[in-house]
Structure 1
């Protein structure tokens, strides 16, 4: 589904670029402008303006669709699941490093905290 939406999105992008470049530019910079063709003057401006607006709306819709599709296909996660509850005690021995990434080290700290008995409150 996502691949089909990406292909449609890319076709809309190409069509949008072409319609923008076909429009007559005010300064005569990049637009193909007048010079013959199948339509001239006001009719061409109205058709290209309307086509640009429609393609822009389709581009916006496919962009939102791709964003929503990426959001719902992603596995749910929370940043708070990976943060340790409290700072380690200064006298506690450091956990041996296995050379893994930061998330692996945080997982090891979480496993150590779950296996350690809870400390009794001071009196």
Structure 2
């Protein structure tokens, strides 16, 4: 359904661009005379293009609002994979604590050094 609405909106947008580009900046419409009927005279073409612009612009805005409402209502909650949440990479000690070189002082040990970090809850 959303793909169909997106295609319709694209067609309306392209039509709106075409109608706007066909208008003259002075308000004279296409500027093409040739027909004595009121529809395709310069004034008739300007009226037709002005109405077309208003209708296509209104359809574009309404369709944008409908698509935004549809996208917001059909959105599913995000699924988060929590299978790796509480795992930590193993830390390989470079030298065992009781095996120190002769004549060196024992390094100060941090009691929190070998503890795993606290689990952080994932945002949902």
Q: TM-score, normalised by structure 2?
A: 0.55
Whose helix proportion is higher, 1 or 2? Answer: 1
Cα deviation for residue 65 of structure 1 reads 1.1
Gaps of 5+ in 2: 79-110
Match of 2:13 in 1: 13
Q: Equivalent residues in 2 for 1:27-46 (5 A)?
A: 33-35=30-32, 39-46=40-47
For residues 19 and 59 of structure 1, do their structure 2 counterparts lie closer, same or farther at Cα, with a shift above 3 Å needed?
same
Which 4+ residue blocks in structure 1 deviate beyond 4 angstroms? 35-38, 91-94
Structure number with larger C-alpha Rg: 2
Cα deviation for residue 44 of structure 1 reads 0.7
For residues 50 and 66 of structure 1, do their structure 2 counterparts lie closer, same or farther at Cα, with a shift above 3 Å needed?
same
Residue-by-residue CA offset, 1:71-123 (whole Å, 9 max, x unaligned): 0121257xxxxxxxxxxxxx986627xxxxxxxxxxx4138xxxxxxxxxxxx
CA RMSD after TM alignment? 3.1
Q: Equivalent residues in 2 for 1:1-123 (5 A)?
A: 1-26=1-26, 33-35=30-32, 39-76=40-77, 95=117, 108-110=119-121
Q: Number of aligned pairs? A: 84
Gaps of 5+ in 1: 78-90, 97-107, 112-123
